[in-house]
Amino acid sequence: MISTLIVILLITLITLITLHIGLPIFYYLYMKNKEEDFEKYINNEISYPLVSIIIPTYNEEKNIKDKIDDILSQNYPKDKIEIILVDSNSTDKTVEIASKYNVKILKQEKRMGKANALNYALANAKGEIIIITDADSKWVNKDAIKISVNFLNNKKIGAVTCIKKQYDEKIEKSYRDLYNVIRLGESSIFSTSIAHGEFFAFKKEYLTNFDENMGADDSYASHKITLNNLRSLAVKEIICNELVPKKGYFHWRVRRAQHLVQYFSVAIKDYKKIRNKDYKKIILVEYFLHLINPWLLLLSIFIGIYLLLLHNLISIILFIIFLVSLISKTVRTWILTQIFLIIAQIKNLYNKEIIWEKEEK
């Protein structure tokens, strides 16, 4: 005879699994159908406002040359671009290499984190439009600046960010694809909940500073712009390549997860300040997906193991289904991401990684 305990555990297990998988799948499918045609924002008769491009650097000697060359190869009048490099006392040749170019170099004597450096640069930027970009990233489309300026020409749009592709697509392409679909869907509805430091363009008048107590300076900046009831869009024509670390991949993913967790924990507190109803829902779902959903998986695993130890047949079947599903790379990446998010929440309690060691890329 099956004991009541087993029945209760089984029902709980199945409910948890259904929720854990169901919500993200539902959210993804919903977003997939939402994609708005942004064509209307692209007109070719644009003016060329002055754009300040800020590159924060800490020990980027390997990347900085390519980064500046990449910006200079953009189709945008050179006299309308101001490149500002803000360096936090790199111990390598970053500044030496950058000084060969027509680039404004701001030096900080002490390393106080990326957001702090961005604020210093922002205070010294002349452009009405600002683009921040990480030194280890590359913009695929040569019209990236122009497209973002076009979008920002619209009164309702306050910020524009890229979608991401990795150089080494092997590692997490399936996950990236799902992720990008969601970013584009959210943008179509109102605003993306996550913005990328590889390309984040915004109107300076709506953002005076980056939060220095938080790792996800980019996403939080985007969020602050939406609090002005302006849209922040991820645009599919603007694609960024980023380097994936060769060593320290695990640490890298955990750090990024930590930053997202910090961001959504703060964003949810602003919930009442969000005026757009749809964006409210987006933040709520994303908060759930980043902070709560991973624990449902962990809990299911514990309950599952307990039932397996009792030789419960249904749990054995579920376990076999679980093992088979691991053939799919998307599933494996998904599970790994949940693990990173759980570790991130725990690690945030004692080390927020606002200043971090760069992984070797």
Binding site for ligand GDP (CB under 6 A): 56-58, 60, 86-88, 111, 113-114, 117, 134-136, 197, 252, 256, 355, 358
> Which residue in this structure is represented by tokens 């973002």?
148
Count of residues engaged in binding Mn ion, rule: CB under 5 A: 2
Binder of residue 60, out of Mn ion, ligand GDP, none (CB less than 5 to 8 A by kind): ligand GDP
For 42-155, strand residue ranges (E) read 51-57, 81-87, 104-107, 129-132, 137-139
**Which C-beta is closer to ligand GDP: that of 88 or that of 300?**
88
Q: Considering the complex, what minimum distance in angstroms separates the CB of residue 158 from ligand GDP?
A: 22
Binder of residue 346, out of ligand GDP, Mn ion, none (CB less than 5 to 8 A by kind): none
**Cβ atoms within 10 A of the Cβ of 281, count?**
15
Binder of residue 157, out of ligand GDP, Mn ion, none (CB less than 5 to 8 A by kind): none
Binder of residue 87, out of ligand GDP, Mn ion, none (CB less than 5 to 8 A by kind): ligand GDP
Choice from 82, 87, 134, 353 touching Mn ion (CB under 5 A): 134
Its sign, for the CA torsion 191, 196, 199, 204, is: positive
Burial class (CB in 10 A: 0-12, 13-18, 19+), 199: buried
Q: Considering the complex, what minimum distance in angstroms separates the CB of residue 34 from ligand GDP?
A: 28
Q: If residue 38 lies in a helix (H) or strand (E), which one and from where to where?
A: none
**Which C-beta is closer to Mn ion: that of 70 or that of 226?**
70
| CA pair distance 121, 219, nearest whole angstrom | 18
**Which C-beta is closer to Mn ion: that of 27 or that of 58?**
58
Q: Which residues of 220-256 are buried (b: 16+ CB within 10 A; e: fewer)?
A: bbbbbbbbeebbbbbbbbbbbbbbbbeeeeeebbbbb
Binder of residue 117, out of Mn ion, ligand GDP, none (CB less than 5 to 8 A by kind): ligand GDP
Is 136 a binding residue for Mn ion by CB under 5 A? The answer is yes
Nearest to 194 by CA among 257, 127, 119, 113: 257
Residue 145 sits at the vertex; the CA angle it makes with 113 and 165, to the nearest 5 degrees, is 70
**Which C-beta is closer to ligand GDP: that of 38 or that of 198?**
198
**Which C-beta is closer to ligand GDP: that of 292 or that of 355?**
355
**Which C-beta is closer to Mn ion: that of 257 or that of 282?**
257
| CA pair distance 27, 174, nearest whole angstrom | 16
| CA pair distance 24, 250, nearest whole angstrom | 23
- Name which of residues 141 to 180 contact Mn ion (CB under 5 A): none
| CA pair distance 197, 54, nearest whole angstrom | 10
Q: Considering the complex, what minimum distance in angstroms separates the CB of residue 359 from Mn ion?
A: 9
Q: Considering the complex, what minimum distance in angstroms separates the CB of residue 136 from Mn ion?
A: 4
**Which C-beta is closer to ligand GDP: that of 197 or that of 294?**
197
Its sign, for the CA torsion 166, 169, 170, 173, is: positive
Q: Considering the complex, what minimum distance in angstroms separates the CB of residue 266 from Mn ion?
A: 22
Binder of residue 58, out of ligand GDP, Mn ion, none (CB less than 5 to 8 A by kind): ligand GDP
Provide the binding-site residues for Mn ion, judged by CB under 5 A.
134, 136
